[in-house]
Amino acid sequence: MERYEVKCAPQQDCDASTKMKCKIPVVLLACGSFNPITNMHLRLFEVARDHLHQTGMYQVIEGIISPVNDNYGKKDLAAAKHRVAMVQLALQTSNWIRVDQWESEQKDWIETVKVLRHHYDELLKSLSKRKEATSSMVGTEIPPEDITTPTLTGEETKAQKT
């Protein structure tokens, strides 16, 4: 996935009102089954946001939780609509993290890289007249090789899980 950074004046040349504008906006994305969602899933977002903000270079503008669809193949997986509902309940007090149903509504299980592309494309649409953002994945139940191996198909991935 490509990374786009905002070009701005060096930090030392930014006054207090400009510093916020000079930070790279970031959207945090967590993919997984969320079967069920836990406090640790939510804590992961908080820790990632705090760390990025402490660097002084990034401004987290949103967190997205993306539950997998019903064809993920995990044993005892609750229906996607129920997992989405659980996430919505867990996020009632959050003003910056949201659940996105797109992945859970797909007909077939899809690779994480396609989910990342979808959210990146949606982000670019919403920010088309503003700065572009960097998207970062904060946590997943999907093995790293599924994310980094572009030739890995869904069937190969499912075979590896068994």
User: What CA–CA distances, in Å, run from 47 to 7, 22, 24, 65, 137?
Assistant: 26, 22, 18, 15, 13
Task: Output the six-digit token pair for 85.
Answer: 């509902």
Contact 128, 34 (CB under 8 A): no
Model-level pTM?
0.71
Task: Output the six-digit token pair for 72.
Answer: 């993920």
Phi, psi of 89 (to 5 degrees): -65, -45
Exposure of 17 in the CB half-sphere (CA atoms within 13 A): 0
What is the average pLDDT across 19-41? 90
> Domains in the chain, please, with CATH?
24-125 (3.40.50.620)
Question: Whole-angstrom Cα distance, residue 128 to residue 126?
Answer: 6
> pLDDT (tens digit, 9 = 90+) per residue, 39-66?
999 999 999 999 999 999 999 999 999 9
Sign of CA dihedral 133, 145, 47, 57: negative
Q: How confident is the model at residue 78 (pLDDT cuts 50, 70, 90)?
A: very high
Phi, psi of 103 (to 5 degrees): -65, -40
